[in-house]
Structure 1
């Protein structure tokens, strides 16, 4: 049965029910309106895409529908999103990277700049960049894990150090850090592995301890620990508007501890 036939048959049933008094006319009017409402597709010309991006960068105009529209525009939005990565605002770069990740493989032209974002001074930007690269099909963690076995000391050291900078997104590298880098013959590599494990473990604890809907404090952390202070600080802070986007709020839990999730329609 086609969608048109289904709507027609549904409307006929409702009209019959209305005639029998089973439903009232306001209900009928609402149902007929729904049946006649076409699905709204986002406009994806250059001007509209720029407007979506601009409004995501303006607090008072921020709406999830703009983010969803960019993702729906798919590859058409990629050039403008790549340009937007040059913005100096940290939260806006995170939003831009998240959109590219949600677009997926069609965002492949953004891989060079996303790879560059792995060296961003913001850890949140780095974590989001790793996640986006994974969604696009360019997992940066895997080659770094392999690099831990390199014969070149400098390569092993840089790989261990980089993994620590990826936080929660490098959690799958923990076994390799424990079995390989931590036992490295070079004290420099071993030290980098210790720091990486500390960073990753802290990120995992914070990520898993924050219940974004209920927790008032981190009950699994020591009150004297840096982790506990970080969790409490995040829980008491106002979450940035970008946290309303599930792709961001679900990943950056330490940045978005208390946030009301919205659906794909921006509600």
Structure 2
């Protein structure tokens, strides 16, 4: 069943319900809607409600649309629960997220350091093709001089994805 804009909008609002079953049902229907729901879910990432941001990030990760990668990177500085869901979504979209995450680290390491470290460490641990390029970036992220080392290591890693 294709959802129209009004139905998508209604489902987005339900993501902030105090009733967990309503939220879960709305998220499930938005995921079923797929890419048509992605723009509204991306907008929901900017909502003041942590619950709404968490649900939107979770749905975007389940949909797996590459258009969501950059907005998910943008919310890595969010509260812990939202950061974890955004990071998990980026992990699930590794092929699309790694180059954009490395580019973001080159520009602004401090703001996304914790979330980026979680994502890249997980990907390097689980995928031996990513281990070589990502391990030096993870080590740099965990170092005391990360603000100096990360952009250099991220640039080196990014060159291996071009």
Query: TM-score normalised by the shorter chain: which range applies?
Result: 0.5 to 0.7
- Relative contact order: is structure 1 or structure 2 higher (C-alpha 8 Å, sep ≥ 6)? 2
Q: For residues 176-235 of structure 1, give each alpha carbon's deviation from its aligned partner in whole angstroms, at most 9, with x where no partner exists.
A: 3699549x7xx6249x99xxxxxxxxxxxxxxxxxxxxxxxxxxxxxxxxxxxxxxxxxx
User: How many corresponding residue pairs?
Assistant: 135
Residue 138 (structure 1) aligns with: 96
Structure 1 residue 96 displacement after superposition: 0.1
Kept in 2, the 8 Å contact 1:126–1:165? The answer is yes
Equivalent residue, structure 2, for 1:109 = 67
Per-residue deviation, residues 5-27 of structure 1 (Å, max 9, x unmatched) = xxxxxxxxxxxxxxxxxxxxxxx
- Per-residue CA deviations over 1:136-179 (Å, capped at 9, x if unaligned) read 342349965xx8xxxxxxx6x938x8553456544435783699
Q: Structure 1's 79 and 171: CA in aligned 2 closer, same or farther, altered over 3 A?
A: same
Any conservation in 1 of the 2:42–2:71 contact (CA below 8 Å)? Answer: yes
2:154 corresponds to: none
The alignment status of 1:188 with 2:140, answered yes or no, reads no
**Which of 34, 41, 52 pairs up with 1:92?**
52
CA 1:140/1:122 → structure 2, altered by over 3 Å: closer, same or farther?
farther
1:43-75 deviation line (CA, Å, top 9, x unaligned) = 511111111111121214724221111001011
Alignment CA distance shift 1:51-1:134 (3 Å): same
Q: Contact (CA 8 Å) 2:17, 2:23: kept in 1 or not?
A: no
User: Cα deviations across residues 95-120 of structure 1 (Å, max 9, x unaligned)?
Assistant: 1011011111xx222333222112x2
Change (3 A) 1:167 1:90: farther
Matches within 5 A, 1:137-156: 137-140=95-98, 144=102
RMSD, aligned CA:
3.8
What TM-score does the superposition give when structure 1 sets the normalisation length? 0.40
Compute the displacement of 1:88 (Å): 0.9
Contact 1:127 1:167 in 2 (8 A): no
For the pair shown, the structure with the greater C-alpha radius of gyration is 1
Q: Is the 8 A contact 1:130 1:166 kept in 2?
A: yes
Structure 1 distance, partners of 2:25, 2:146, is 46
What SS class does the counterpart of residue 64 from structure 1 fall into?
helix
Please say if residues 82 and 110 of structure 1, whose CA atoms lie closer than 8 Å, have aligned partners that are also in contact. Answer: yes
Superposition pairs for residues 48-127 of structure 1, below 5 Å?
48-60=7-19, 62-104=22-64, 107-118=65-76, 120-127=77-84
Q: Secondary structure at the match of 1:44?
A: coil
- Structure 2: give runs of 5+ residues left out of the alignment: 126-130, 151-162
**2:118 is the alignment partner of 1:158:** no
Secondary structure at the residue paired with 2:83?
helix
